[in-house]
Amino acid sequence: MRGNVIIIGSGIAALQLAKKLSRNLHVIVFTKSTLTVSNSYLAQGGIAVALSDSDNAEKHYHDTMEAGRYHNNSATVAMMTKEAPELIKELINEGCPFDRNENGEIKLGLEGAHSEKRIIHGGGDATGKTVIDFLQTQINHVTVMENMTVYELIISENRCVGVKVKGLDGHTIQAYAEHIVIATGGLGQIYSFTSSAETVTGDGLALAYRAGAELSDMEFVQFHPTLISANGKGVGLASEAVRGEGAKLVTEEGTYLMEGFHPYKDLSPRHVVSQEIYKALKEGHTVYLDISTIDNFVKKFPTVASICIEHGIDLASGRIPVVPGCHFLMGGIRTDLNAQTTIPGLYAIGEAACTGVHGANRLASNSLLEGLYFGNRLADFINENSAQMKKPERWLSEVKAAPPKRALPDIELLKSTMMERTGIARTKENLEKQLDFLKSFAAPQWVKADLEDLSIEELNEVFMLICSWLVTKAALKRTESRGGHLRLDYPNEDAGWEKRQIIQQLKGDRIEQSEITPAAGTILSGRYR
Ligand code: SIN
């Protein structure tokens, strides 16, 4: 099979790219499930964009940097926040049905760590679904292949030229293109509490690492404060917009949890709120969202309400039990402003990419925006450069080692140990214990192993094992606390770590000083082509 562009994944970044690519290009989308299964589709919270008269891109920029604890790439943040209004107005003009107020204007909501009301929503708390459903109507020219898992990137003469793909029945195909794009999302499923879709098992991150691409900032994992808790599990998200409407975090005795946290209190940055809830839970409390002051809750938050009803949570009590869980990976496959990775022909967009926008902790509702923004940028880049791209001539992929003989870990044990040892609060001791655990299942050997004969289930497990190992290694290396990365043994931010990125690549890990402030459209670092 041959095309011009192969996109792996089908969330908002993937579909925005597909929509924006030239109709002259043959575009193939491989998705391991269906177009309606992705983190984007589940996204309740909206899209951050400075649209109101009192707001501007500069305020959005500052809120993004503050939440990211200044680990962000400032130039990239400046460009994204500046260009966001045009990008969103384009979607509005094309007919994407965002929520409007009684005057017919786009409604703007508030979320954590935003200094202005600037969150647009669709379907109340179904923004991801609203945008994905809309984008799907715009990609009739694209070949979409559902239930197809990409398990290997084909690298020939240091260039990515194709992918190996497995269907549900185990049959395999190889597909080739000039441009291969990873848009597979994050790695939420490596944790026992997560808001991520079941399919989010770190595939793209593992594929890229195995192929030799650079990954960066893998220690920065965001834990959302309010997953709905039922029967000891996180069963879905209670959007931050619920706190934006006035809900408060309280313990079982009614003690208000965020009293001392000025100025934002319940709407403090996510890592702050998650860490506070985690502390209360460790002390044996139960933590609730008190929604008693919100009128018309079911109408305003239909998705949250239906999750509660499905799990027997009585909304009339005015309380929803909550627990923090993995929500977003700020790190990922290292890219430049055009979404190019360090391997020619390979690109990454969306949560799988580390563009530097989110720094150490993502600001609420910046992820759908980032997907739209980099989907758009990459489409421009490919549309402009496609004619000059040389078609791959040699399609021989390199030989891999025999798979390790050891069994893969029990998946629930992998998730619970990651939660406990590489989760919200980390220590050297726990991280070392987790590394030993992961090594005992041959995590480093799986990086180089041949995956040809593995079932889809085994492939998911191998990708999760590799991602767990990468996150744990990076978390051990960063001896400070910053944003989503809390080290109990190094509880403060350390100026010596500011803007230093931990880069992981198959040939070795290194720490890189990366204060990068390129002009718009230029390449981020001299090491890129
Ligand atoms: C939420 O609705 O709380 C999630 C939004 C986001 O992750 O940006």
Pocket test for ligand 1, best of 41, 129, 239, 330 (most atoms within 8 A of CB): 239
Task: Tell me the pLDDT tens digit for each residue of 113-150.
Answer: 899 999 999 999 899 999 999 999 999 999 999 999 99
44 has pLDDT over 80: yes
CATH tag, 5-185+328-388? 3.50.50.60
Q: How far apart are CA 349 and CA 352, in angstroms?
A: 6
The tokens describing 35, both together, are 């177009």
* DSSP 3-state of 285: coil
| Residues in contact with 317: Cβ distance below 8 Å, sequence separation at least 6, in sequence order | none
Task: Tell me the pLDDT tens digit for each residue of 443-455.
Answer: 999 999 999 999 9
- Torsion sign (Cα): 95, 97, 103, 109: negative
Helices (H) and strands (E) in the chain, counts: 15, 20
* DSSP 3-state of 506: coil
pLDDT of residue 528: 28
Q: Which amino acid is it at 434?
A: Q
Q: What is the mean pLDDT of the chain?
A: 92
Q: Find out whether the beta carbon of 182 lies less than 6 Å from any atom of ligand 1.
A: no
395 has pLDDT over 70: no
90 has pLDDT over 90: yes
| The three-state (H, E, C) secondary structure of 55-118, written as one string | CCHHHHHHHHHHHCCCCCCHHHHHHHHHHHHHHHHHHHHHCCCCCECCCCCECCECCCCCCCCC
Task: Tell me the pLDDT tens digit for each residue of 349-360.
Answer: 999 999 999 999
Q: Let me know if 210 is a catalytic residue.
A: no
Q: Where are the domains of the chain?
A: 5-185+328-388, 225-325
* Dihedrals phi, psi of 216, to nearest 5 degrees: -140, 155
526 has pLDDT over 70: no
Task: Tell me the pLDDT tens digit for each residue of 281-336.
Answer: 999 999 999 999 999 999 999 999 999 999 999 999 999 999 999 999 999 999 99
Give 188 Cα–ligand 1 centroid separation in angstroms: 14
Residue nearest to atom 8 of ligand 1 (CA): 365
43 has pLDDT over 50: yes
* Dihedrals phi, psi of 200, to nearest 5 degrees: -90, 80
* DSSP 3-state of 182: strand
Same fold yes or no, 5-185+328-388 and 225-325? no
Nearest C-alpha neighbor of 142 from the set 183, 112, 170: 183
Max distance between CA atoms of the chain, in angstroms, equals 68
| Domain 225-325 coded CATH 3.90.226.10 | no
pLDDT mean over 143-158: 95
pLDDT mean over 201-224: 97
Confidence band for 45, pLDDT divided at 50, 70 and 90: confident
pLDDT of residue 186: 98
Pocket test for ligand 1, best of 63, 125, 224 (most atoms within 8 A of CB): 224
513 has pLDDT over 50: yes
The tokens describing 214, both together, are 């650079």
pLDDT mean over 238-260: 94
* DSSP 3-state of 50: coil
pLDDT of residue 394: 52
Q: Find out whether the beta carbon of 367 lies less than 6 Å from any atom of ligand 1.
A: yes
228 vs 387, higher pLDDT: 228
Give 203 Cα–ligand 1 centroid separation in angstroms: 22
- Asked if residue 295 lies in contact with residue 301, where contact means CB atoms within 8 angstroms, the answer is no
